[in-house]
Amino acid sequence: MTHTVLRIDASARRDGSESRALTQRIVDRLEPQSIIQRDLAVAIPTIDADWLAANWTKEEERSDKQRATLALSDSLIEEIKAADTLVIGTPIYNFGIPANLKAWIDQIARAGITFRYTEAGPEGVMTGKRAIIAIASGGTQVGSDVDFASGYLRHVLGFIGITNVQVVAADQLMIDADASHAKANAALEDLAA
């Protein structure tokens, strides 16, 4: 049993979303004691010059405005810290992840907080966690040369220290929905709670 799951839904659709349905099934299988939910259909602001300036100002030197600018980022990172397992549900839009999921990544990938620079290069500090990525696509085959979503998410999660990453895909739904659902069901059965 997983203690705490951070559930992230990136689909713009709330009703009829394949990735949301798949994410729910994964969360049900994990039977967590608690769930933190982050619905990215409610837009996450993209980083801008003010955000960058606040982020690169030493914490003790930040103005109140800079602290306010980073408040959402700080909250998103606390959600990750509180979770044992991240379950990220995302569609593939135009061969990649939705912009709202990219905005979330930009908010949580912070030097000195979720990763640090060492003599050997960047090192993730959010270790000891598990991530399960639930991906739905109409035509893009997960793992193919034109899938720029699953590899990117694995890389970003590894960059912040989460290297135990599994993918459950309902891909190519517009080509063969039955086969896609069967493959996703088999992957779900293989997930350890």
Binding residues: 11, 17-19
d(CA 81, CA 28): 21
What is the spatial distance between Cα 114 and Cα 159, in angstroms, rounded to a whole number?
Answer: 9
Full DSSP string of 121-171? EEEE---S-EEEEEEE-SSPPTTSTT--SHHHHHHHHHHTT--EEEEEEE-
R_g over Cα of the chain: 17
**Which residues make up each annotated binding site for FMN?**
11, 17-19
Residue keyed to tokens 């608690």: 34
Return the axis-axis angle of helices 99-108 and 71-82, rounded to nearest 10°.
90
Nearest residue to 53 via CA among 30, 37, 70: 70
Chain mean position to CA 83: 12
Q: Which residues pair with 87 in a beta bridge?
A: 7, 132
- Amino acid making up residue 115: F
